[in-house]
Amino acid sequence: MKKHLVEPGKKIKLSERDPQDIGDFKGGKEEGLKAISKLNEKLQELQELLYAEGRHKVLVVLQAMDTGGKDGAIRRVFDGVNPQGVKVASFKVPTGEELAHDFLWRIHKQTPASGEIVIFNRSHYEDVLVVRVHGYVDKNVWSKRYEQINAFERILAENGTTILKFFLHISKDEQKERLQARLDDPTKHWKFSLGDLDERKLWGDYQAAYEDVLNKTSSTHAPWYIVPANRKWYRDLVISKILVETLENLNMKYPEPKDDLSGIVIE
């Protein structure tokens, strides 16, 4: 999974990352789905432990082009995980009140508490993506935000938050197919917005904006992973594996009971 990491300080080019990649995973989809199920069981256990221990906070950031699969990934990776300790925060076009504050105001409020996992479906990165591509603020405003984001994430990390950031990388052709599938299926029409077609015309600008995000904001305490996402099963496998490995490395323990439980007999 290391090959998908954006190493802090190293420059990547998105055009050199293959959205179709399945890494070293030779088993194909069938094996992939089995592996995801096993990882999902582990994730359920680890999440329970995280919640019981109540010490760590976990933040998972998901970013992607339209149809990139954020929703599908959340559904599959977190399938069956106790909803008590897991939250999804979706960031849409900011409200008037949100716009009247600094761009991190609405974000900070949604960060995980102790024992929680929070998944960001879109995030503060929109403020250097859609906002930059459409010029909603001047360049001298958005260009300072990379450093501001790094500082913000450092504050979270130094206060006990484990941060993982995933860019779901699809190809332009794959997006076309997925948009077409939404058009062809009446039960998917609700997901289709004409605005998505306008955004698609800006594909190149978005790729450039993503490249800057990945190169300027991947750090040891908040690394970016570029997840090849044309194949949904590989996308879910990569996210599951990185998440499970990261949680395992926290070396969590169930807390000791508050009282001495030895020799207790329940009548």
Give ∠ CA 39-170-151 in degrees, rounded to 5. Answer: 75
DSSP for 115-151, written as a single string:
T-EEEEES-GGGGGTHHHHTTSS-HHHHTTHHHHHHH
Rounded to 10°, the helix 70-77/232-248 angle is 50
CB atoms within 10 A of CB 152: 18
Q: Which residues bind ligand ATP (CB under 6 A)?
A: 66, 70-71, 91-94, 121-122, 126-127, 130-131, 193
Cβ proximity to ligand ATP: between 131 and 237 the closer is: 131
Question: How near is the Cβ of 128 to ligand ATP at its closest, in Å?
Answer: 9
Cβ proximity to ligand ATP: between 22 and 62 the closer is: 62
Give the up-direction half-sphere exposure of residue 173: CA atoms within 13 A in the CB hemisphere: 5
Question: How near is the Cβ of 136 to ligand ATP at its closest, in Å?
Answer: 6
Cβ proximity to ligand ATP: between 46 and 62 the closer is: 62
Question: How near is the Cβ of 259 to ligand ATP at its closest, in Å?
Answer: 47
Q: Which residue is nearest to ligand ATP (CB)?
A: 126
What's the rounded Cα separation, in Å, for the pair 84 and 34? 26
Question: How near is the Cβ of 51 to ligand ATP at its closest, in Å?
Answer: 27
Question: How near is the Cβ of 238 to ligand ATP at its closest, in Å?
Answer: 19
Cβ proximity to ligand ATP: between 149 and 244 the closer is: 149
Cβ proximity to ligand ATP: between 79 and 126 the closer is: 126
Q: Do residues 4 and 243 touch, judged by C-beta distance below 8 A?
A: no
